[in-house]
Structure 1
Amino acid sequence: MLFRITGESSVEPVPAQKLAGLGILERQDLQEWVVEEPQILGEELLIVTSEYAGFENTLDRLDVLALDRDGKLVVVELKRDRADATTDLQALKYASFCSNLTAEDVQQLYQEFHSKNEATLSPEEVGNRFANFVDTDERIPVDETGWATFELDNRPRVVLAAGDFGTEITSPVLWLNQEYGLDISCVRLQAYEHDGGYLVQGQRIIPVPEAEEYMTKRRKKQDTQSTNRRPPTFNLLFERGVLREGDELLFNEAMFGEDWAPAGADERWDPEADLWRAVVTGKPGLSNNVSWCYDDEEYSFTGLTRAILLEISGGDDPYFSNAFWYWTHPEFDYQNLSDLRDAQVTASDRKSEHTN
């Protein structure tokens, strides 16, 4: 709350009012004010464009697109009243659309937007504005065409600015910030009547300044844990060149031991039969690493192994724990993939690398 001092001992509170109650409009007023003075949102921003509708197959319009001093894109979604339940999803959708923009794309959008109110800006003028705005150790260079040359990452920031926020917004925003490291801010906008005009104040409520250091440390910890975590077997073998797109693999006959031998499994095992063969897709998803020759469907190694066990016996191997034991690679003397991982073999150990 603001307070008006009217005398030596006279202090009067100035209550905040809803923007809608003061007749402030979302697009014609609030959006224009942010474009003219982005510090309403509590930070220095270079406004790139507003009412941006350059997304394929949709008529949606992004309220404001900006750049911060670190050279990151900022997607701004404005609501003059309480943010509705889909405000965060809407902004995340816009952020995903903008994640493909290049630095030159952004400068061209700036040129087009700001040339409406100024004399037509040249690429050199735009490039120099961007080079001067982004705060780096060394000044961003401008290329021969006039554009500033810098890299945009594919994770734009999101700023939600509204008259108020409920838990339907604050809860998912906090969760996305803390658990997934997404940079989403909530800024509460408050307005006050003053001398025939308005005072507008933007107060960031997520993340609160006191939590920023904590969240920064948390993200660093998650990054370190992610770096130190043992990578998935498929990814590691693919990076080493042990697995390549199109490699044929064979189900490991040795897995049918005395402790577990499904009825008829030994007789049915055939290295030429599609039931026992799979092809590496090269795809790094959770369920598309390998294609089963038996049905041409894509699976994870675990999913495919269980599908084969179900097909031949109607149930799981009671000792099942590691799907990579069940698959052998002909290019490595039919060793199973788990052993190939632990043996630190690489593409140079392939048979085909040593044959004429």
Structure 2
Amino acid sequence: MFRVDRSQNRLSRLVQKRFSDLNLRERDHLQEWLANQPDALGEELLIIQKEFDGFDETRERLDLLALDKGGNLVVIENKLDDSGRDVTWQALKYTAYVSGLTKTQIVDIYQQYLDRFCGGGNAAVRLCEFMEVEDLGEIHLNPGNDQRMIFIAANFRREVTATVLWLLSRGIKAQCFKVTPFMLSEELILDIQQIIPTPEAADFMIGMSSKENEEKVTHDTQKKRHQLRYEFWQAALERLHAKGVEIYRNISPARNHWLSAGSGVRSCPYQMIFSRDEARVELSFTRSDAEENKWLIDQLFLEKDALEAAFGGEFIWRRMDDKKQSLIVYSKPFDGYNRESWDEMITWLVEHIQKLEATFKEPLARLHRQLRNHDEEAA
């Protein structure tokens, strides 16, 4: 790895180190880094436990246990300078152990992790947020034999890489990541590279995996709710079109629990939400720059009284400091999965999405102009 000196138009090599030379330890350092930044492994992962020892009749511990976006459990085994000979055997045992975990057990394991390491929180709610669903019943966790293994080390022995390649050829999902520490003056830099399968070969190997993995069946509850939502949004859009609501003129029904429409400001859509227990209208701030999202909601909050008076109700202002997104929400309880409630629910949504647009159209446009002027001045 090299540092580029642009003033001299030269490269200078960073000093590669061993973890042992830096007095870094597997559990106290590498494991903690990955637990707090799992997307360093190239995808969104949710860490649900570390040093997991919840196995019957054994005191063994796996380093990190995670979930991927497909609801699959991921066993992560960390080593430092040397992978050792037995890491694949360890990971296979751990993966076999966790293959039988039920959804209830996984939620309990994650709740224990939140309580012990994260200062608390609601495991079910966070799982729904991670899986981007409205209700825990829609999530299918730990399906079939789709458990995964990730191996992390500075150097891998040949017997380890050969075993991982053999597992991949049999449709078992396994990856090797090489981690290398470098020093730049007093600054420690960590390079993390996937070496098996190589990123270029990953799609090909996935395509060659077993037919069972390719033809995963969507959970029955999820399919039914997708169809229910699609039918609800069909009816809602018919009403919106009849009322001449322009922002939804070119929107099609979807299977999601939300239906978005543009506000005229990039990544700040109006949204209607259809859930089991309520209907909501929202103004969502999802720009790529979290600071812009917080600035927008803060500026609008300064006008809170006037905006709520214009709308005719009190909003829930969700700044969400721990997330990139922010929301302004107005809701009403409904029995959403009861079709007999739909007429009243749709009437409410049509009325309040129009009020939401009328309330925020001018303030949003004004703040958008300020953002553009600021960007032009900075340029």
**TM-score normalised according to structure 2 size:** 0.53
Q: How does 1:200-239 map to 2 (within 5 A)?
A: 200-220=190-210
Task: Report the AA paired with residue 201 of structure 1.
Answer: D
Instruction: Give how far 1:196 is off.
Output: 2.2
Instruction: Give how far 1:221 is off.
Output: 6.6
Match of 2:154 in 1: 163
Provide the secondary structure at the position in 1 that maps to 2:150: strand
Task: Report the AA paired with residue 160 of structure 1.
Answer: F
Instruction: Give how far 1:69 is off.
Output: 1.5
Match of 1:183 in 2: 173
Whether the 8 Å CA contact 1:4–1:14 is kept in 2: the answer is no
In structure 2, what is the Cα distance between the partners aligned to 1:35 and 1:128? 19
Return the structure number with greater helix share.
2
Provide the secondary structure at the position in 2 that maps to 1:164: coil
In structure 1, what is the Cα distance between the partners aligned to 2:66 and 2:102? 13
Q: 1:128 aligned to 2:122? A: no
Task: Report the AA paired with residue 166 of structure 1.
Answer: R
State the identity %: 31
Instruction: Give how far 1:129 is off.
Output: 1.2
Provide the secondary structure at the position in 1 that maps to 2:208: helix
Provide the secondary structure at the position in 2 that maps to 1:33: helix
The count of corresponding residues between Structure 1 and Structure 2 is 213
Whether the 8 Å CA contact 2:2–2:11 is kept in 1: the answer is no
Whether the 8 Å CA contact 1:41–1:161 is kept in 2: the answer is no
Whether the 8 Å CA contact 1:82–1:162 is kept in 2: the answer is yes
Pick from 107, 129, 135 the counterpart of residue 141 of structure 1: 135
Task: Report the AA paired with residue 184 of structure 1.
Answer: A
Instruction: Give how far 1:195 is off.
Output: 4.5
Whether the 8 Å CA contact 1:77–1:87 is kept in 2: the answer is yes
Instruction: Give how far 1:71 is off.
Output: 1.3
In structure 1, what is the Cα distance between the partners aligned to 2:50 and 2:211? 36
Instruction: Give how far 1:27 is off.
Output: 0.7
Whether the 8 Å CA contact 1:26–1:79 is kept in 2: the answer is yes
Match of 1:352 in 2: none
Match of 1:193 in 2: 183
Instruction: Give how far 1:41 is off.
Output: 2.4
Whether the 8 Å CA contact 2:131–2:139 is kept in 1: the answer is no
Deviation string 1:308-352 (CA, Å, 9 cap, x unpaired) is xxxxxxxxxxxxxxxxxxxxxxxxxxxxxxxxxxxxxxxxxxxxx
Match of 2:91 in 1: 91
Whether the 8 Å CA contact 1:38–1:44 is kept in 2: the answer is yes
Instruction: Give how far 1:220 is off.
Output: 5.0
Deviation string 1:87-116 (CA, Å, 9 cap, x unpaired) is 011001000000011122112111111212
Unaligned runs of 5+ in 1: 225-356
Judged with a 3 Å threshold, the aligned counterparts in structure 2 of structure 1 residues 131 and 22 are, in CA distance, closer, same or farther, namely same
In structure 2, what is the Cα distance between the partners aligned to 1:112 and 1:99? 19
Q: How does 1:66-85 map to 2 (within 5 A)?
A: 66-85=66-85
Judged with a 3 Å threshold, the aligned counterparts in structure 2 of structure 1 residues 194 and 107 are, in CA distance, closer, same or farther, namely farther
Q: How does 1:1-356 map to 2 (within 5 A)?
A: 1-5=1-5, 7-121=7-121, 125-134=122-131, 139=133, 141-142=135-136, 149-155=139-145, 156-178=147-169, 180-220=170-210
In structure 2, what is the Cα distance between the partners aligned to 1:149 and 1:220? 23
- Aligned CA-pair RMSD: 2.1
Q: Which stretch of the first structure deviates more once superposed, 196-205 or 6-15?
A: 6-15
In structure 2, what is the Cα distance between the partners aligned to 1:39 and 1:222? 27
Task: Report the AA paired with residue 148 of structure 2.
Answer: R
Task: Report the AA paired with residue 175 of structure 1.
Answer: W
Instruction: Give how far 1:191 is off.
Output: 0.8
Whether the 8 Å CA contact 1:40–1:201 is kept in 2: the answer is no
Provide the secondary structure at the position in 1 that maps to 2:91: helix
In structure 1, what is the Cα distance between the partners aligned to 2:40 and 2:179? 8
In structure 2, what is the Cα distance between the partners aligned to 1:214 and 1:59? 38
Instruction: Give how far 1:197 is off.
Output: 3.1
Unaligned runs of 5+ in 2: 215-379
Judged with a 3 Å threshold, the aligned counterparts in structure 2 of structure 1 residues 151 and 51 are, in CA distance, closer, same or farther, namely closer
In structure 1, what is the Cα distance between the partners aligned to 2:193 and 2:83? 15
Instruction: Give how far 1:6 is off.
Output: 6.0
Judged with a 3 Å threshold, the aligned counterparts in structure 2 of structure 1 residues 140 and 176 are, in CA distance, closer, same or farther, namely farther
